[in-house]
Amino acid sequence: MNCLTGERIVILGAGVAGLRLTQKLHSTLRSGEATVTLIDENPYHQLLYKLHEVCNKEYHEKDIVVPLDRLVKNNDVKLIQATVESVDVESNQVQTSEGVFPYDVLVLALGSHTAFFNIDGIKEHSMTLGNYDQAKEIRERIKEIFEEAGKTGTPPNVVIGGAGFTGVELAGEMMDWFPALYKEHELERNGSLFTMVEAYSSILPGWNEGLVKNAHAYLEKRGVELHLGDPVTKVGERILELKSGAMMEPDLFIWTGGVEGDPVCPPGVQIRARRIIVNDHMEYEGHDNLYVLGDMACTVNKEGKSMPPNAHIAMIHADVAKHNIVASIRGNSSRKYKFQHMGEVVTLGKSHAVGELLGIKLTGLPARIVKKFIHLWYLISIGGIKLALDVF
Ligand SMILES: Cc1cc2nc3c(=O)[nH]c(=O)nc-3n(C[C@H](O)[C@H](O)[C@H](O)COP(=O)(O)OP(=O)(O)OC[C@H]3O[C@@H](n4cnc5c(N)ncnc54)[C@H](O)[C@@H]3O)c2cc1C
């Protein structure tokens, strides 16, 4: 690895990975060693693991987003609000909506976007839950369709496509909110609250069987219709076609079927599982001044299987990158990424959750407590006790 000099470190994306890396570099680098520029299109850091809560009657903005200037204050970090448009790794420059930023070390941490898998019409006729703005749009649309339904007296038909982590968490919030909307608009329920369609034969594909059964039973008990093992093949204006030939006529179709790395990536990069392949040092192979972190990066577990993106993995990526960027500047040896799985908890509204922590299966209250604890720990890690007291 080269020993870099006169570093201009540019970090793209102030999400889980980019923010953590920025904060850690700031507390580690000595004066004069480097300048750090953090670029994000939003003036806030999104707590994406809380995003589904926007689709609930009890949502508060301060629970979902934290202003970046509260988290990155020091003059040593330049905070730029701009949209990244392209990256040129030959001339070491980033093109943004606010101009060009030259760099010596570049970190790509722009997260992920909804994957549409080339399904006919899906992009045009679905809503997605990938960021705060999209979550607010879904919330407004839900309110609108219930208002329209209140005028006709016919309950709205809502379909969630994809019963993975995000779809199930969204369903949990809607399950909590919809009964109140039925009441407010004096609607009679004549069937399920809403429907979830999923290509796999179970919800939460890849999760422990017992946890899946528990979550499945809970969703059904609360009035969610689960239509499983039937991929969406075509989406149109208020029409949904499935592989089995089944048709649905949703007033609102929300697609949560998967994610892919952000499309802003240098031309020619190697992709696996819809993300950029990186080496064990979190660098893009052949470019030791280009790091790729979080949802944009494809890292693998001990068996060589590419891991689904999550916040914990994004944090490990940031820690490895921080070590290696500082090591480059100081001429020290670099560190390798090592996969660790702490576990995950999926919420099903305010009253239920299922998950796993260090191999221990959890359902109900213990799972909810663990999720709350993770939230508290994360807030403290990015903004200290003061932020935790304000937000938790
Ligand atoms: C609804 C939802 C719920 C989730 N729940 C959980 C959970 O419970 N547990 C868990 O572990 N993981 C969860 N995840 C996944 C987790 O949030 C991600 O894996 C993690 O945030 C990835 O971190 P990142 O830094 O790669 O990207 P992000 O945290 O997504 O950050 C990317 C940043 O880049 C910025 N950006 C994107 N494009 C541009 C551009 N062109 N120009 C400028 N800025 C740009 C964005 O504004 C954002 O700040 C959830 C994700 C979603 C969407």
Same domain (yes/no): 141, 240: yes
Q: What is the pTM of this model?
A: 0.93
Spacing, Cα 33 to ligand 1 middle (Å): 29
Residues ≥6 apart with Cβ < 8 Å to 268:
none
pLDDT exceeds 70 at position 3: no
pLDDT exceeds 50 at position 1: no
Distance CA 381, CA 62 (A): 17
Tell me what pLDDT residue 163 has. 98
Mean pLDDT, rounded, for 158-179: 97
Distance CA 306, CA 244 (A): 30
What are 339-376's pLDDT values in tens digits?
877 889 999 999 999 999 989 999 999 999 999 999 99
Could you tell me where the DSSP H helices lie in 209-358?
Answer: 209-221, 311-330
Same domain (yes/no): 52, 99: yes
Same domain (yes/no): 193, 293: no
Residue nearest to atom 50 of ligand 1 (CA): 49
Tell me what pLDDT residue 366 has. 95
Domain's final residue, options 302, 326, 342? 342
Summary mean pLDDT of the chain: 93
Mean pLDDT, rounded, for 216-226: 97
Same domain (yes/no): 244, 271: no
Residue nearest to atom 15 of ligand 1 (CA): 310
In a domain, 326, yes or no: yes
pLDDT exceeds 50 at position 378: yes
Residue 120 DSSP class: B
Domain's final residue, options 209, 239, 257? 257
Spacing, Cα 278 to ligand 1 middle (Å): 18
Tell me what pLDDT residue 266 has. 73
In a domain, 280, yes or no: yes
Label residue 4 by pLDDT band (50, 70, 90). Answer: very low
Question: Residue 265 is part of which domain span?
Answer: 8-114+260-342
Same domain (yes/no): 311, 324: yes
Tell me what pLDDT residue 6 has. 58
What are 9-44's pLDDT values in tens digits?
999 999 999 999 999 999 999 988 999 999 999 999
Domain's final residue, options 257, 278, 309? 257
| Helix (H), strand (E) at residue 176 | helix 165-184
Spacing, Cα 190 to ligand 1 middle (Å): 37
